[in-house]
Amino acid sequence: MRPLEGITVVALEQVIAGPFATRQLAELGARVIKIERPGGGDPSRGYDQTVKGMSSHFVWVNRSKESLSLDVKHPEAKVILEKLVAKADVFLQNLAPGAADRLGLGPSLTEKHPRLIWCGISGFGPAGPYAHKKAYDLLVQCEAGLLSVTGTQEAPAKAGIPVADIAAGMYAFSSILAALLRRERTGKGGVLDITMLEALGEWMGFPAYFTSYGGVPPPRSGAHHSTIVPYGPFKAGDGGTVFLSVQNEREYANFCDRVLEKPGLKTDPRFATSPLRHRNRTAFHAEVDAVFSQLKTEEVIQRLDKADIANARLNSMEEFWRHPQLEARGRMAKVASPAGPLDMLKPPFNIEGMAPRLDAVPAVGQHSDAILGELGYDAATLARLRAARAI
């Protein structure tokens, strides 16, 4: 049995943050009814066509859900929504600022349905000077200061994945789980207010505290660490790149003795402590480069492994997709979709005795008739609603 079996989630969601949260609820057993605009559906369906004609964004975060097409502004659609919410355990929305309230789907729903868990995901929250602003991932990365510490000294860089959306989705997911547990104990639902700025801000703890108490921000250092040395990429003599990380003085001694084979560097006054190595980063990197330039990539990795120094190759996406560790752990699965079966990564839930749900990626409105049938709508009524473009 999956832990969320019997839980119904109604999701007026779009793009990444909301769908990422609800997909995980679905994989733990919840029934997730995803409301989409008739015709085009979730805007992320049109972002690209790389997955057998479907969007990579959409298939990533929307498997295992039921799709109900509904024009939420249509008067009869509002009646349908009221019936759905009355039967739901969780209502989640991540519409533009103020949109849910204008539709009558704001936090006040919990007054009529006291067991309902209402979750709103927004860029900045329902109050404050930024409450009215639209929020897209890059813009929240900027507001949270991520770009100020990511990139090189010459230019900032955004993260290559939508980290603000993912962070908000993760905190929405975990908060809903906590609210469901609280409801089991108290019988009451409640309101969850998740913002992208605050979610990503939590992930910015190290540079935020470093700057607030140190007086200066950590420098942008590309793939190297802003304070730990050695940490990051180094070239081998055959042109390959090896990433490594030395986390403490014991590891540093091992690195000097067994990898660089230069024990004198342990007591070199320029490098004897972590702050000194950071201060003299360029000189220390030169010592590493002098050794690695005489070795092949595999020889560097062998030395690092024997010395128990953490290291990694820089994998392409193709290499990650075929990663031997993922293969050994059986982390790929076949998932159905409107375009046929897809190879997809399993979710990272590894709960003893439970297989996560891996149901199909839905087509727009694929489950409309079945869901509305459960609410008492017959074929004639469904035909009329379609004619009126309510569904």
CATH number for the domain harbouring residue 74: 3.40.50.10540
What is the share, in percent, of the chain residues with pLDDT greater than 90? Answer: 97
What is the share, in percent, of the chain residues with pLDDT greater than 70? Answer: 100
Q: Is residue 221 in some structural domain?
A: no
Q: Give the residue from 333, 336, 321 showing the smallest Cα distance to 54.
A: 336
Mean pLDDT of 325-339: 97
Q: Say what the pLDDT of residue 147 is.
A: 95
152 and 27 in one domain? Answer: yes
What is the DSSP pairing of strand 31-36 with strand 66-69? Answer: parallel
Per-residue pLDDT tens digits for 242-283: 999 999 999 999 999 999 999 999 999 999 999 999 999 999
Q: Say what the pLDDT of residue 58 is.
A: 98
Please check the confidence at residue 227 and state whether its pLDDT lies above 90. Answer: no
Structure token digits, residue 290:
């002098």
Mean pLDDT of 77-89: 96
Q: Say what the pLDDT of residue 226 is.
A: 87
Q: Say what the pLDDT of residue 31 is.
A: 98
Per-residue pLDDT tens digits for 193-213: 999 999 999 999 999 999 999
Can you tell me the distance from the alpha carbon of 148 to that of 142, in angstroms, rounded to the nearest whole number?
A: 8
170 and 73 in one domain? Answer: yes
Can you tell me the distance from the alpha carbon of 391 to that of 387, in angstroms, rounded to the nearest whole number?
A: 9
Q: Give the residue from 80, 87, 92, 77 showing the smallest Cα distance to 113.
A: 87
Last residue of a domain, which of 270, 289, 314? 314
Last residue of a domain, which of 254, 286, 314? 314
Q: Which of 57, 74, 132, 225 is catalytic?
A: 225
87 and 64 in one domain? Answer: yes
Q: Which domain holds residue 235?
A: 231-314
**Is 225 tagged catalytic?**
yes
182 and 104 in one domain? Answer: yes
How many domains does the structure of the chain reveal? Answer: 2
Q: Are 127 and 46 in contact (CB under 8 A)?
A: no
